[in-house]
Structure 1
Amino acid sequence: MASSADVHVRICGQEIIKYDLEIKALIQDIRDCPGPQSTLLELNSQVKEKFNHLRLRIQDLEQMAKEQDRETDRLTIQAETESQRKQMLSNQTAWRKANLACKLSIDSMEKDELLHGGDTQSTRQRKVTKESLVETSSNITESLMSISRMMAEQVNQSEDTIGTLVSSSRTVLETNEEFKNMTGTIHLGRKLILKYNRRELTDKLLIFLALALFLATVLYILKKRLFPFI
C-alpha cells in the first residue's frame, strides 16, 4: 500500500489481510474435512461470517480512497481496493470448489460405509440416533395405549353411571305413580269423611228435632191432664 496512506487506511488494510488469511485457512479445513455434514455446515458458517467482515472492510477502504485529498493516494488506495476485491472473488471460487470436493468425499465415504457395513463413529452415531428414535416412539406408543385404557375405563364408568341413572329414574317414576294413586285414595277418603260428617250432622239435627217434638208432646199431654180447663 502507498507509504503516504494514513493510519486508518493502514489499519483497514491489515484487517483485510487478516480476514483473507483466515478465509484461506477455513477453505483448506473444508478441503480436508472428513465429515460429518454438521462439521461442514459449521465451517461454512464461519467462512460466511469472515466474508461478511471482509466485504465491509473493502467497502470502508473504497470509501477512504474517495476521501483522499491527493490524487496519487486516491489512485493507490483504489488500486489496493480492486486487488483485494479480486482476491475475495478468488477466495469465493476456491470456497465453492472446496465445498464440492468435501461433499463428494463425504458422500463417497457414506456409500462405502453402507456397502461394507463399517462401524465408524458416524455410523455409530446414526445407530444411536435410530435407537433413540425407536425408544421415543415406543414410549409414545405406550403412553397412547395407557391413555386409551384410561378412556375405556372412563367409558365403562360412564355406562355404569348411565345405567344407575336410568334405574333411579324408573324408580322415581314408579314412586311418582304410587304417590298419585295414594293421592287419589286420600282424596276419595277425604270426600267420604266429609260426606260422613255431613250425614252425622244431619242425623244429630233430626234427633234433636225428634227429641224436641217428643218433649213438646209430653208437655202438651201433661198440660191437658193437669190443667184441663186452661
Structure 2
Amino acid sequence: MASSALVHVRICGQEIIKYDLQIKALIQDIRDCPGPQSALLELNNLVKEKFSELRLRIQDLEQMAKEQDRESDRLAIMAETESQRREMLSNQTAWRKANLACKLAIDNMEKNELLHGGENQTTRQRKVTKESLVESSSDITESLMSICRMMSEQVKQSEDTIGTLATSSRTVQETNEEFKSMTGTIHLGRKLILKYNRRELTDKLLIFLALALFFATVLYILKKRLFPFI
C-alpha cells in the first residue's frame, strides 16, 4: 500500500514538472510574440489553462501528503508541495512581465505604423490602436487581479501548511519524550526482576541449609535413641 502511494506521488510530481515546463515555454512565446493582440490573447488563454491544471495537481500532491502514514514521508511531500507553489508564483510573475513587455512592443509597432501611414490609414489605425489599448488595459487588469487572488490563496495555504508542520513537530517531540519515559521504566523493571531473582536464589539456599540441618538433627537423635552405646 505504501509503495503504491509513493508511485502516485511520483506520477503527480512528474505531471507538475510537465505543466511547469509548458508554462515556461508559453511565457517565452509571449515574450517573442510579434502580434497582433489576438495572437497574444490566444497565448494567454493557453497559459491560464496550464496554470489551472498545475494548481489542481499541486492540490492533489498536498492531499497525498496528508494521507501518508509515515511522518517523514508526509513532511517530505509537504516540503515539495511548498517548493512547487513557490515556483508557480515565480511563473505567474514572469507571465505578467512578459505580457507587459509584449503589449508595449505591439503598441510601439502600431504607433510606428500610424506615423508612416496615409491620412485615412492613420485615422483607421488610431481607432484600432485605441481599441487595442482598451483591450490590453482590460486584460492587464484582469491578469493582475487574478494574480492577486492566486497569491492570496497561496499565502493562506502556506500559513495552513506551516501550522501543520508545527503541530507535527510538537507531536514528534512528545513521542520522543514518551519513548524516553518508557525506556526508563523498562530499565527499572529489569533491575527489579534481577533483584527478585537473586533474592529467590538466596531463599532457596537458606531453605536447603535449614532442611539439611533438620535432617542431620533427626538422624543424630535417632542414632542416640536406637544405638546409645555406639
Using structure 2 for the length normalisation, give the TM-score. Answer: 0.50
- The structure that has the greater radius of gyration is 1
Using structure 1 for the length normalisation, give the TM-score.
Answer: 0.50
